Structure 1
Amino acid sequence: MKKKRKSAVLFILIVAVAFFSAFVGFKGMVISGWKFKSFDEVITKGLDLQGGVSVLMEIQENQVTREQLESTKEHISLRVNKLGVAETVVTTEGEKRIRVDIPGAFDSQEIVESLSKSGNLIFKGPNDDEILTGKDVKKASAVLDQQNGQPVVSLELNEDGQRAFSEATGKYVGQKISVYMDDELLTSPTVQTQIVDGNAVITGSQTLDEAKKLAGVINSGALPVTVKAVSVKNVGAQLGATALPNALKAGTLGIGLVFLFMICYYRVPGFLASIALVLFITITLFVFAQVGVTLTLPGIAALLLTIGMAVDANVLIFERIREELRKGISTKTSIKKGFENALSSIVDSNVTTILVGLILYFFGSGAVKGFAVTLMIGIIISLFTALVVTKLLINLAADIGMLNKLSHFRVKREVEHA
């Protein structure tokens, strides 16, 4: 009796959390002054959903290294951020191209001109006197300090830069030297001692990724490349205004029909699977918001596809359970064997889909990559909800008596004839 009460409390708690989190996620809520924004407010939407400008830039040099491509990408990102545009997406495509997607209404010609500039990196002293330019920097690298393990940016200067920097650091010991890219402050490290060998270290980065980004921007100023806009597209917001509501209506209708089918065909297990599916959709959208996934129409298609695969996993599990029940095996044992028998099929199908997603991600570009990321995130979460959440709910339901009859599974026991 004690176990039954404990299972009932846990069952109710899981159901309440699933529906409450879904309500907060889709509607938003203010609790004790804390505002929980809805998914619509926090998930970044692609240009096909909200309109904007898409610019494809191409590096004009014949031989382009991966480091130069990444440095140019960071440089362009810095320029775009100066426009004050939120939710801008800058990605590399192939070996020489960089795509910039800027949501909202902007002058595409002005954006192209801004992105095509080579960049101007300047080191300034405390009196705003110019010490170095990008031409004086041979190389910038993100490394971990050997003494304290903190991420830093290591600078290697050329001969002219070495002379100028030695003089400046000797003059400004204990003071700050600021690094600017196109008049935008990147960092202001304090000079600890005179640097005479042309090898300097910039401290202050919180993470190695932050140090890599700073090094990339410095390199882009030290090694400027010529970029040219090869494609400029203005996407009207009218498309998104029509497409997004239609996609949401289609998705809601499809999910509703899936719920109806699962409940009518599988009865109590179908109802439990529907609860797990609600949790799956909520968790997936929450992950999209946290990792910064840009949701596009192909991304919505991938999300709906993963919902279908999540349902498919439940169908496999329930059919295996029903097979065991028809043999006259007890409910608890049938549930256990049903999950065990369905496990290999579920894992095989989902791993295969993840492999396809990886291929699309590494060899695709633009919307194809977005589709692949959305698909893989959804598949991984669907595995969790099918193999953990659904299993937990069914076992709890069996403990409290919700699944103790064959009719609860819509099963008729097979009758052996003499």
Structure 2
Amino acid sequence: MLQIPAWKRISILAVCLAGIVFAFPNAFYTRVEQHNDAVAEIDALGATPEREEAAAGWPSFLPATLVNLGLDLRGGAHLLAEVHVEDVYSDRMDGYWPEVRDALVGIRDQVGFVERLDSAPEGTLQIRIQNAEAMPGALEAVRALAQPVVSLTGVGARDIEVAGDGNVITVQLTPEEKVATDNRTIQQALEIIRRRVDEVGTREPTIQRQGENRILIQVPGIGSAAELKALIGTTARLTFHPVVSRTGDPQAIPGPGNIVVQDLENENEYYIVEQAAVLSGEDLVDAQPTFDQNGMPAVSFRFNPSGARVFGQYTSENVGALFATVLDDRVITAPQIREPITGGSGQITGNFSVESSTQLAVLLRAGALPAELTFLEERTIGPELGQDSIDAGRIACIVAFVAVLVFMVLSYGLFGVFANLALLLNVGLMFGVLSVIGATLTLPGIAGIVLTIGMAVDANVLVFERIREELRTAKGPSRAIELGYERALSAIIDANITTFITATILFVLGSGPVRGFAVTLGIGILTSVFTAIFVTRLFIVMWFERKRPRTIEV
């Protein structure tokens, strides 16, 4: 019997309705996008009248999911940046100096005085000891500081190599540690750029590594490459330094091993700090706005285990001293160490407002770029070009759609009309799924949609042709329709599974536009099979139950 249970009918209609509802916001793209941006900014940065007005532009009871438009459709900025990973080598050596100094001071009776040489080559640490005869013991003490390389390719290697020449000890990173450091630097730069570009998670940027030390950055909706560069920043490393003194003279002579750094808020105030940082932003894992014991805004922070150990030891030995947080060669804050901080967390207090403490927490949490960036390629894709792409894709979709609709009606009559209705629902379901998963639509993605429209009726063609064959054997209409669906099912599944496997391979092995094409093609296959097997059949069954025809013509 040609019938579909009530629960199955309700399920099919519910799926179709859900797809249309979730696809509906794309018809009001600008309003919904402004609403989403405002809601995200309110959650992350707080409410303002402008943000609340934008958030009220779309009803809260309706879905607000959108298909994100890619760079080629919306316009935006494209940058290719090179990361100066060598900068990190010098920072690592600066960080090693206090440990090396302490190790050599422990055997001062053998080596005599210890002095760091400022003329050392970039990325190396050179120390002069007084007694050249004690060089073997000094080398042994410094080599004891070496740690295993933390990487899969550097198993069994140490992070530093130590050599002696006369009374000069040279310390530098091993090749294995340089490779591991480069990888960590690029990954950290990727994450920090992502946080700076997309702090509230609404821009859908493309940020990925290219080659050994380059990063590709593409952000839809940005007005120019210059705006994107300003958003990212080009240098800046977050470091924590001991404060030697304060001064109002920018020309003050800092003394050996010290530097002069300007205050971020008060441009007339300067700090003389030690050049060697106690900790860097790599050791900071979290920062949150909070309030101190007096109810004033403050910032709480937390270090990783190694940073917590160093921080606890330093604060225990320097209670009462000032400790500067330096970002972009400017002192963010320089609080006084009031007590030892041994738990790996602490609090920055000062003349903060709620807003400034929140901004500082975001800044500390995002961190600073670990190395300088050089922009090798800059491109701005205007919205006009994106609009041209959208218009061309729209024309292609409409032409393909109309051609398929006309062909189906001319070939299969009323059954072709049912297939066309299912095709309309198929497109709605496709955009609904793309919206729910937050997919980014590019020009190749539109090509995948056009191809899906052409393929969507393939399953219906197989079914209808099979029904025609069954009608020729003098079977009744009901039995012919039922057998048509049953005997065409294997061919439908086989054809679509092979295409879906191809789309999966393209998604796994491809990147960028290829993956966008694969996503739309794969989703289109799933929705077209659903509409052909279930939706079109439901239409035919409902029509057949109402008309009860003695004969049918397909």
TM-score (norm 1): 0.65
Question: What's the CA shift for 1:258?
Answer: 0.9
Unaligned runs of 5+ residues in structure 1 are 124-130, 141-152, 169-178, 183-193, 201-216, 410-418
In 2, are the aligned partners of 1:18 and 1:279 still within 8 Å (CA)? no
Question: What's the CA shift for 1:317?
Answer: 1.9
Task: Choose the corresponding residue for 2:198, options 74, 81, 99.
Answer: 81
In 1, are the aligned partners of 2:196 and 2:366 still within 8 Å (CA)? no
Q: What is the aligned partner in structure 1 of residue 171 from structure 2? A: none
1:155 aligns with 2:180: no
Task: Give the secondary structure class of the aligned counterpart of 1:54.
Answer: strand
1:303 aligns with 2:449: yes
My pick for the range that moved more, 287-296 or 395-404, is 395-404
Q: What CA deviation, in whole Å up to 9, does each residue of 1:63-102 have, x standing for no partner?
A: 46887655433211111136x8953412425665543222
> What is the correspondence of 1:212-231 to structure 2 with a 5 Å cutoff?
221=367, 224=370, 227-231=373-377
Q: What is the aligned partner in structure 2 of residue 101 from structure 1? A: 218
Question: What's the CA shift for 1:118?
Answer: 5.4
TM-score (norm 2): 0.51
Task: Choose the corresponding residue for 1:92, options 200, 205, 208.
Answer: 208
Q: Distance in 1 between matches of 2:403 and 2:413?
A: 14
In 1, are the aligned partners of 2:23 and 2:66 still within 8 Å (CA)? no
Quick one: structure 1 residues 360 and 109, their matched pair in 2 at CA, closer, same or farther if it must change by over 3 Å?
A: same
Q: What CA deviation, in whole Å up to 9, does each residue of 1:1-27 have, x standing for no partner?
A: xx99x89x979x789959985995675
The one of the two structures with greater contact order (alpha-carbon pairs below 8 A, sep at least 6) is 1
Q: What is the aligned partner in structure 2 of residue 72 from structure 1? A: 189
In 2, are the aligned partners of 1:90 and 1:99 still within 8 Å (CA)? yes
Q: Distance in 2 between matches of 1:238 and 1:248?
A: 15
Question: What's the CA shift for 1:303?
Answer: 0.8
Letter of the structure 1 residue corresponding to residue 59 of structure 2: W
Quick one: structure 1 residues 78 and 331, their matched pair in 2 at CA, closer, same or farther if it must change by over 3 Å?
A: same
Q: Distance in 2 between matches of 1:14 and 1:138?
A: 49
Q: Distance in 2 between matches of 1:332 and 1:311?
A: 22
Letter of the structure 2 residue corresponding to residue 378 of structure 1: G
Letter of the structure 1 residue corresponding to residue 203 of structure 2: E
Q: What CA deviation, in whole Å up to 9, does each residue of 1:267-286 have, x standing for no partner?
A: 22211111111111111112
Letter of the structure 1 residue corresponding to residue 305 of structure 2: E
Q: Distance in 1 between matches of 2:314 and 2:535?
A: 64
Question: What's the CA shift for 1:404?
Answer: 5.1
Question: What's the CA shift for 1:237?
Answer: 2.1
Task: Give the secondary structure class of the aligned counterpart of 2:304.
Answer: strand
Q: Distance in 2 between matches of 1:270 and 1:285?
A: 23
Q: Distance in 1 between matches of 2:420 and 2:545?
A: 19
Letter of the structure 1 residue corresponding to residue 304 of structure 2: L
Question: What's the CA shift for 1:180?
Answer: 12
Unaligned runs of 5+ residues in structure 2 are 33-57, 86-177, 241-276, 287-301, 319-324, 329-339, 347-362
Task: Choose the corresponding residue for 1:240, options 371, 381, 386.
Answer: 386
Q: What CA deviation, in whole Å up to 9, does each residue of 1:122-150 have, x standing for no partner?
A: 89xxxxxxx9954562889xxxxxxxxxx
1:44 aligns with 2:68: yes
Q: Distance in 2 between matches of 1:300 and 1:374?
A: 8
Task: Give the secondary structure class of the aligned counterpart of 1:87.
Answer: coil
1:111 aligns with 2:136: no
Q: Distance in 2 between matches of 1:336 and 1:181?
A: 72
Quick one: structure 1 residues 229 and 136, their matched pair in 2 at CA, closer, same or farther if it must change by over 3 Å?
A: closer
1:278 aligns with 2:418: no
Letter of the structure 1 residue corresponding to residue 206 of structure 2: V
Question: What's the CA shift for 1:220?
Answer: 8.1
In 2, are the aligned partners of 1:57 and 1:231 still within 8 Å (CA)? yes
In 1, are the aligned partners of 2:190 and 2:207 still within 8 Å (CA)? yes
Quick one: structure 1 residues 255 and 325, their matched pair in 2 at CA, closer, same or farther if it must change by over 3 Å?
A: same
Q: Distance in 2 between matches of 1:242 and 1:196?
A: 60
> What is the correspondence of 1:319-334 to structure 2 with a 5 Å cutoff?
319-334=465-480
Q: Distance in 2 between matches of 1:223 and 1:103?
A: 22
Q: Distance in 1 between matches of 2:399 and 2:341?
A: 67
Q: Distance in 1 between matches of 2:60 and 2:345?
A: 48
Q: What CA deviation, in whole Å up to 9, does each residue of 1:38-85 have, x standing for no partner?
A: 99x943222222222112345565846887655433211111136x89
Q: Distance in 2 between matches of 1:294 and 1:58?
A: 26
In 1, are the aligned partners of 2:239 and 2:326 still within 8 Å (CA)? yes
Q: Distance in 2 between matches of 1:343 and 1:180?
A: 67
In 2, are the aligned partners of 1:69 and 1:95 still within 8 Å (CA)? no
In 2, are the aligned partners of 1:139 and 1:222 still within 8 Å (CA)? no
In 1, are the aligned partners of 2:192 and 2:366 still within 8 Å (CA)? yes
Q: What is the aligned partner in structure 2 of residue 265 from structure 1? A: 411
Q: Distance in 2 between matches of 1:246 and 1:318?
A: 33
Task: Choose the corresponding residue for 1:388, options 534, 550, 553.
Answer: 534
Q: Distance in 2 between matches of 1:71 and 1:18?
A: 40
Task: Choose the corresponding residue for 2:399, options 253, 256, 263.
Answer: 253
Q: Distance in 2 between matches of 1:73 and 1:318?
A: 53
> What is the correspondence of 1:326-365 to structure 2 with a 5 Å cutoff?
326-365=472-511
In 2, are the aligned partners of 1:49 and 1:241 still within 8 Å (CA)? yes
Identity %: 32
Q: What CA deviation, in whole Å up to 9, does each residue of 1:310-364 have, x standing for no partner?
A: 1112212222222222222333333333223222322222222222223222332
Task: Give the secondary structure class of the aligned counterpart of 1:231.
Answer: strand
Letter of the structure 2 residue corresponding to residue 75 of structure 1: I
Q: What CA deviation, in whole Å up to 9, does each residue of 1:247-306 have, x standing for no partner?
A: 212311321221121122112221111111111111111222222222221111111111
Letter of the structure 1 residue corresponding to residue 480 of structure 2: S
Larger Cα Rg: Structure 1 or Structure 2? 2
Question: What's the CA shift for 1:309?
Answer: 1.7
Q: What is the aligned partner in structure 2 of residue 54 from structure 1? A: 78
1:369 aligns with 2:515: yes
In 1, are the aligned partners of 2:19 and 2:431 still within 8 Å (CA)? no
Q: Distance in 1 between matches of 2:427 and 2:472?
A: 33
Count of aligned residue pairs for this structure pair: 349
In 1, are the aligned partners of 2:23 and 2:429 still within 8 Å (CA)? no
Letter of the structure 2 residue corresponding to residue 338 of structure 1: G
Quick one: structure 1 residues 376 and 10, their matched pair in 2 at CA, closer, same or farther if it must change by over 3 Å?
A: closer
Q: Distance in 1 between matches of 2:22 and 2:510?
A: 33
Q: Distance in 2 between matches of 1:23 and 1:107?
A: 30
Letter of the structure 2 residue corresponding to residue 79 of structure 1: R
